[in-house]
Amino acid sequence: MNKDKSGKYWDDTLNMARHVDCHCECGDKCWWKQQQKRFKQPLGWFPEQAKKVSVTGKAKVFAVQWLGDIAFLEESQIATIVTNCHRVNTQRHFKALSPHTFLFLTKFPERLNAPPFKYSIEQEDNLWLGISASDQKTFNTRIKGLLKFDGFKKWVSLEPLQGTIDLENGIMPTWHYAKYMKVIDQVIVGGLTGGKYNANLDWYRSIRDRCDAAGVPFFIKHIDKNNGRKLDDREHNNLIWRKK
């Protein structure tokens, strides 16, 4: 269970590259663009960030390459990031230490068919590949790209949620729904960070109920100012990578 009341579902970040633009549909509301304005972080390639991932100490959950979509990196940069994650966990294994968990998130899974990413990530059970979507259209497009990857954990981030999302709509016939949901290992939902609006709670209920029916862990990061992280008077903190 997640004990962080802020809705944070990772422990640390690993950003070896920072982009000017993440190429997403959120415009000026884009989280990465907001971070740029707030912290004015330099752009470029920073391989020294790999030192943050320790081969000793407590296992952590790392948010990898969230300051700019990993799908727009060069193949050599993607290979460096993925290889480093795999190398550290291999060393931890020989030290009898629990592995770190690495969360990759993209809006462009179709761009990640390059061998340095696709083949490397399949070698490590603790590398998770996820998609981010905010409405039905973006979900339908991106989930199809995600499902083309085999052999590793998959997760879905529905943030910032801007409308109802039917998790089976446009994917495959209803009678295949249960099979489809079994390959999704985690669903996370959230509203617009700092948004001054009242969310439609039925959007969240619909997704939660679908996940519950399929046995998929469901986590709410944040809804809105009035509700915080609570839906129907309770928080939803089911995170599969916290159960290790």
Provide the percentage of residues in the chain whose pLDDT is more than 90: 36
Question: Letter for the amino acid at 111?
Answer: R
The 10s digit of each residue's pLDDT in 2-14 is: 454 568 999 999 9
The 10s digit of each residue's pLDDT in 203-214 is: 999 999 989 888
Length of the chain: 244
Helices (H), the chain: 31-39, 75-94, 115-121, 136-146, 177-182, 201-214
Q: For 107, which DSSP code?
A: S
What is the dotted CATH code of the domain comprising 12-242? 3.20.20
- Averaged pLDDT of the chain: 81
Largest CA distance in the chain: 50
Are the CB atoms for 78 and 16 separated by under 8 Å? no
CB atoms within 10 A of CB 189: 24
Domain boundaries, the chain: 12-242
**Among 32-41, 91-100, 112-121, 179-188, the least confident range:** 112-121
225: CB partners within 8 A, 6+ apart: 195, 196
The pLDDT-based confidence of 170 (bands split at 50, 70, 90) is: very low
pTM: 0.87
The pLDDT-based confidence of 111 (bands split at 50, 70, 90) is: confident
Q: What is the pLDDT of residue 2?
A: 47
Most confident segment among 80-84, 101-105, 152-156 = 101-105
Are the CB atoms for 130 and 104 separated by under 8 Å? yes
For residues 174-185, average pLDDT: 61
117: CB partners within 8 A, 6+ apart: 70, 75, 78, 79, 82
CA angle 87, 93, 96 (to 5 degrees): 150
